[in-house]
Every structure is written in structure tokens, then in C-alpha cells.
Chain A
């Protein structure tokens, strides 16, 4: 099981673009470092209080590190779900079934964009705290969320992947 069962964290302010930390490759982390466990807890806490938020990466709270939290539980477009979990140093090792979809980001609050993402992925990562090495296989909306967060950890925004010049939109619905 990869579900998060760490300590409770603090809600942190979310950084919005333009910001250097959002465009910087995050550092690999030692998952056993207590500071990393605290960061994981803070990401979960911040994600939970943000309406509609299904994932949050460390750069979005101003920390240039390869750590992110995801929770797509109950989302209508989700198929496979792993509940609330936090991954460190995640890498995509397989990706297939590419599909375009429109996505937005808490760090780019006024825009959405059409981005192609894999509909099925395999991710290798470590869990905060235990440092256990895990392989996460998922699909559909959880796969899209993981790719979005892994991009954040690599200093990339969805804006770096939009399908074309007319594929960004003024965001119309505020959750």
C-alpha cells in the first residue's frame, strides 16, 4: 500500500506563476529526512483544504524538491485510484495511451490548456518516511494527475506542454 499515513501537516501558501521555483528542477530528496516527511504532511494538508485540488507538488509551496501529493478519490474521470499518497523522486518508466485533455493548475489560476498525457503509466518512486521503493501503475485521471505533478518537480508547467498557439484559454470556472 502506498497510502499516506504520516503526521498531520500545516497548510502552506500556494505559489503562483511567474515564480522561479516553479521553473526550477526540484532536488532529489532523502525520503527518510524528517524535513521531507514534514513537507509531505504539509502538501497533504494544503491539498486537502484547496477546493477541487487533486494534487500538489513541492515547488507549488515554494520548495524546490521532488515530492508531491495526489488524491483523485471520487473524481468522475478516475478509474484506478490509490487514495491519498505522497511520492518522492518519482520517475515515469512507462507511458502509453496518449490522450489530449484540458487542464488547469492552482499555480496558474487564470488559464487552462490542452495537454496530451498518457492514459496509462508506470511510475517508480520512494515513499516518504519509510523510504520504501514502490512502483505505481495507474491510468485515466490519476495518471494525468501524476504526470502533472512529476512535471512540477521537473520545473515544468502545463504551459510548457500545451498543444498549440490556440490551446490556452482564459479560465472561466472558479472552484
Chain B
């Protein structure tokens, strides 16, 4: 079984997701995990699929106009079970160079694995939200280190446990 990693980027327009999905369905691609969003008006889609060969997937996407895409063969990974606890990091403040780099370096140094991250720039306000997987007991120290980094950057930061309730 081929597992393929595909990215598609282009100007956003109505129907673009349907066009990409239809092109891939046409060559028997089964979409597994995917994410799609608009980044400053650009349509961006990243997905994993299986079924078609590299060549078939590339042929399917070559019919799309006005987008750039990339198809790569990847080896199937078993879902790594995260061992720690889920936390959410929120950062907001005046935009400046290096916010993402400084914050994520602090998270990484504390052994936190980022599992999801989005940033948005709106006017001069910069916002970063990250989901991280953090070892038990590491939160307090990370919160202190994030506070130091945030003070240097002049932004606000918070770290909170993303507790979910089993019902």
C-alpha cells in the first residue's frame, strides 16, 4: 500500500477542496488525516492518503489550474501514542520577529511536543495557539520559562491543561 503526503496551495476559491478531493478520488485515493485552512487568503491543504501510486496521484493533480502542489511517498507511521498530558499554549501581543521561534524553542527545551499550532496576524496583533504534549510534572517549569520568554518578547503567554472529560 502506498501512503502519500500531499500539499496543495493556491488562491482560495469556492470549490477548490471539492476539486482536489474529486481529482484524488478519481484515482482511488482514500483520504485519511487531512487539514485545510486559509492562510491570508491562500487555500492550503495538507493530507495523507493511500491507494494510488505516486505517478497516478501526480497525474490526477496536474489537471488542477492555478494551484501548486507536491506529492511525496511516505512510510506509514503507527499513531504514536503521546505519553504526556495535553496542554494549550496561548501567546498574543504586538507582532515582531521571532515570536514563534522563541516560544517553540522554549516548549521544545522542556520536552514538549507540539501536536498542533496556528498563528494569525491581524493588524498589529499576533496570536499563537499551540497544542502540546508535555510530560507529567513538567508544566510548572515550562510556565516559568514561557513567562521569561514572553517578557523578553513583550507578549502575553499562558499555559493551561487541556483537560477533557470522559463521558
Chain A residues in the interface with B (C-beta under 8 A): 52-55, 75, 77, 101-106, 112, 141, 144-145, 148-149, 158, 165-166, 169-175
Residue from B79, B131, B165 within 8 A of A103 (CB atoms): B165
Q: Is residue B167 contacting chain A, with contact meaning CB distance below 8 A?
A: yes
Other than the known A102-B162, A148-B167, A169-B131, what 5 A-B pairs have Cβ atoms closer than 8 Å?
A166-B37, A169-B162, A173-B86, A174-B81, A175-B166
Tally of A-B Cβ pairs under 8 angstroms: 58
Asked if B46 is an interface residue, CB under 8 A from chain A, the answer is: no
| Contact call A145/B163, Cβ cutoff below 8 A | no
Q: How far is the CA of A65 from the CA of B116 in the complex (A)?
A: 38
B131 neighbours in A (Cβ, 8 Å):
169
In-complex Cβ contact of A144 among B84, B86, B165 (8 A): B165
Interface size class of B (residues with CB under 8 A): 10 to 19
- B167 near A149: Cβ-Cβ < 8 Å: yes
- Residue B82 lies at the interface, judged by CB distance under 8 Å to chain A: yes
Report whether B166 and A105 are in contact in the complex, using a CB–CB cutoff of 8 Å: yes
The distance from the CB of B11 to the nearest CB of chain A, in whole angstroms, is 20
CB nearest to B131 among chain A residues = A169
B118:A104 contact, CB within 8 angstroms: no
Report the Cα distance A169→B133, complex, angstroms: 12
A172 to B81: give the CA distance in the assembly, Å. 7
Q: How far, in angstroms, from A22 to B81 measured CA to CA in the complex?
A: 26
Show the binding face of B for A, using Cβ within 8 Å: 35, 37, 79, 81-82, 84-86, 115-116, 118, 131, 133, 162-167
Partner of B79, one of A112, A170, A175: A170
What residues of A have a CB within 8 angstroms of the CB of B84 in the complex? 172
Are the C-beta atoms of B167 and A105 separated by less than 8 Å?
Answer: yes
Taking CB as reference atom, which chain B residue is nearest A158?
Answer: B167
A53 to B166, CA, bound (A): 6
Q: How many angstroms between the C-alpha atoms of A172 and B116 in the bound complex?
A: 13
Expressed in whole angstroms, the minimum distance between the Cβ of A19 and any Cβ of chain B is 17
Return 7 A-B CB contacts under 8 Å, by A number: A54-B167, A103-B166, A104-B164, A104-B166, A148-B167, A166-B118, A173-B85
A140 to B118, CA, bound (A): 30
- Contact: B82 with A102, CB < 8 Å? no
The answer to whether B163 touches A172, judged by C-beta atoms less than 8 angstroms apart, is no
Residues of B within 8 A of A104 (CB): 164-167
